[in-house]
Structure 1
Amino acid sequence: MDVLSDVLAVLRTGRARSAQVVWHAPWAQEFAAVPGAAGFHVVLRGSCRLLRPGAQPLTLAAGDIVFRPHGDGHVLADSPGTRPVTPACDPAEMGDLPAYASVGSPGTGEATVTLCGAYELDAGLVHPLIRDLPDLIHVPAQWGRHPHLRATVDLLAAELTEPGPGAEALVPALLDTMLVYLLRTSLTGEHPTGWAAALADPVTGAALRAIHREPGRPWTVAALAAEGGLSRAPFARRFADLLGQPPMSYLTWWRLTVAAGLLRRTDTTLGAIAGQVGYASEFAFAAAFKRRFGVAPGRYRRQLAA
């Protein structure tokens, strides 16, 4: 089981959007904070500064990529001294754009071209794999590094510049591909910690893949330890040290997260969902679900549909 793919399948909601923007100096654009929206910027031509509260301005050059996994607010500008003069851009409003868009800013100064985009994630189901990421991930333009990510950016930029037949299907697929490569880049550093370390670890990684492969199986700590080839007590300590919670706590959390995703995306009966995520009865499932989300599963589904 590919844990990252499984996590994204549950978290993703709505449709990824992107726009290519030509900025003419002087310019500055504020991007509003949107919980549950992960955003990115790619500098295709020129340079700019990324400004955020409590941090030094980050200079971005052509080829640089910035990923904001938690949807935190920030400003993109030609220089730190330029103030935004237009209303803050809300990534949620990108849903009003077509699948591809190219827009520009007025002015006659030096041009900077960026690729901006946002992904909708369910803020109520945020997985610790995503939550543990830093608020800003900067991928500098370095020849030969992250070739698959670079190739995806090039294809996306080309399709946004000159959309051809099938662009409305191709661009969202490229955006999804880019998200996976951005997360891969974040999880495969030289000194992984937290979830990145847990996935790379042969013991905890095997247990996590087993949980995600069969969330409804009647797992025990001993059974999960056996997946990783370790005895029960050392496995439990290792899991808690890397992930900050005992294995059975994570199992319960993930089962209910999967159930919430099924309630949102499908019309599967509550009894079938209960069995799929490892509960012997609909009553036991409803009680556990209400403890986690504060409402019964049936009401949770109706609220999402309203």
Structure 2
Amino acid sequence: MDVLSDAIGAMRLGRPHSARTAFESPWEQHFEPQQGAGFHVILQGSCRLIPAVGEPILLGVGDVAFLPRELGHGIAGPDGSGFTQMLCGAYSLDQSRAHPLFAELPDVVHLPARVGRHPSLHGAIELLGQELDRDTPLGGDAALPALLDLLLLYLVRAWYDDRPGDTATGWAAALRDPAVAAALRAVHEEPERPWTVQSLAGHAGLSRAAFARRFTDLVGSPPLAYLTWWRMTMAARLLRDTELPLRAVAARTGYTSEFAFARAFKREFGAAPGRYRHGSADGSGRSGLGGEQEAGS
């Protein structure tokens, strides 16, 4: 288990899609806000990306623009740019439960083309382009979504990899801190365990007080508040995507009692688990990352 994969997996909805597009200057396109994320890769020519907030960004050959939350944006050819070819894609994501690791990303992640930088990302882009260009659909129904899922991971990873280690803050620093990263991995690998601050501190190799301070400073919430939030996020996904009975969902998320689980879930989402499962609730809920509390019972 790793935090990035879990964070993205918990937000994913439906199937991603991608296409190769080409424009002859002058041209301009607008994209409406939506519950998802998108990307543009410039294969030939250049263009301007016009974000919902902020100044336009000039994109050249090999540049990647990733929009982790689609607030609406435009793309247009610069004066005299002539022919422009792009690889574009979109993901449907549940932004109401965005993991703080994902929520920390800027509205536009610009990854300029640099020789030797992010070879895995550019390798995935090349494979995606080849798959889109295939004359036959043999295996495409499986290959395209898999490549797009891989690309999404590489896009987020590239942004975090570009954060300098000595100046990194927030989740970029948390994932590089051995003690905090060890505790996060433990929570994600075994969310059902009856974790306490003391047991997580032991896992991280720190005293209880030192661990609690370091975790809260880097992650932005106390250890047990994060644990509760992650358990509830997992529970919502299990209720939405599976037919597991409530007792099984409760057990997988660290609750020995179905009643205790239902009470915690309703406090988080404002609806009972059964009602949430059947679509009566909007699933917005509170983030649950505010205060220290014991998680599970």
TM-score with structure 2 setting the length: 0.89
What is the match of residue 294 of structure 1? 270
Match of 1:158 among 113, 130, 135: 130
Distance of 1:302 and 1:163 partners within structure 2:
41
Distance of 1:123 and 1:151 partners within structure 2:
28
Give unpaired runs (5+ residues) of structure 2. 283-297
Q: Where do residues 41-120 of structure 1 align in structure 2 (5 Å cutoff)?
A: 41-79=40-78, 110-120=82-92
Match of 1:170 among 143, 148, 152: 143
**Alignment check: 8 A CA contact 1:43 1:63 kept:** yes
Aligned to 1:200, the other structure's residue is in SS state coil
What is the match of residue 141 of structure 1? 113
- Which digits, 9 at most, give the CA deviation of each residue in 1:147-184, with x for residues without a partner? 11111111111221334322222111111111111111
Distance of 1:207 and 1:76 partners within structure 2:
42
Distance of 2:250 and 2:58 partners within structure 1:
50
CA deviation after TM superposition for structure 1 residue 124, in Å: 2.6
What is the match of residue 236 of structure 1? 212
CA deviation after TM superposition for structure 1 residue 233, in Å: 0.4
CA deviation after TM superposition for structure 1 residue 111, in Å: 1.4
Greater RCO, CA 8 A, separation 6+: 1
Corresponding pairs, count: 278
**Alignment check: 8 A CA contact 1:28 1:76 kept:** yes
Counting aligned pairs with the same residue, the percent is: 53
**Alignment check: 8 A CA contact 1:40 1:67 kept:** yes
Distance of 2:232 and 2:49 partners within structure 1:
38
CA deviation after TM superposition for structure 1 residue 305, in Å: 11
**Alignment check: 8 A CA contact 2:271 2:281 kept:** no
- Which digits, 9 at most, give the CA deviation of each residue in 1:32-76, with x for residues without a partner? 1113x0110000111000112442221111110000011121110
Distance of 1:140 and 1:72 partners within structure 2:
22
Match of 1:126 among 98, 105, 115: 98
CA deviation after TM superposition for structure 1 residue 9, in Å: 2.2
**Alignment check: 8 A CA contact 1:34 1:73 kept:** yes
Structure 2 residue 255 is matched with structure 1 residue 271? no
Match of 1:213 among 189, 193, 196: 189
Aligned to 1:14, the other structure's residue is in SS state strand
TM-score with structure 1 setting the length: 0.87
> Cα distance 1:239–1:76, how it changes in 2: closer, same or farther (>3 A)?
same
Give unpaired runs (5+ residues) of structure 1. 83-108
Distance of 2:103 and 2:151 partners within structure 1:
19
**Alignment check: 8 A CA contact 2:38 2:70 kept:** yes
Letter matched to residue 209 of structure 1: R
- Which digits, 9 at most, give the CA deviation of each residue in 1:246-290, with x for residues without a partner? 101001111111100100111001011111111121111111101
**Alignment check: 8 A CA contact 1:25 1:111 kept:** yes
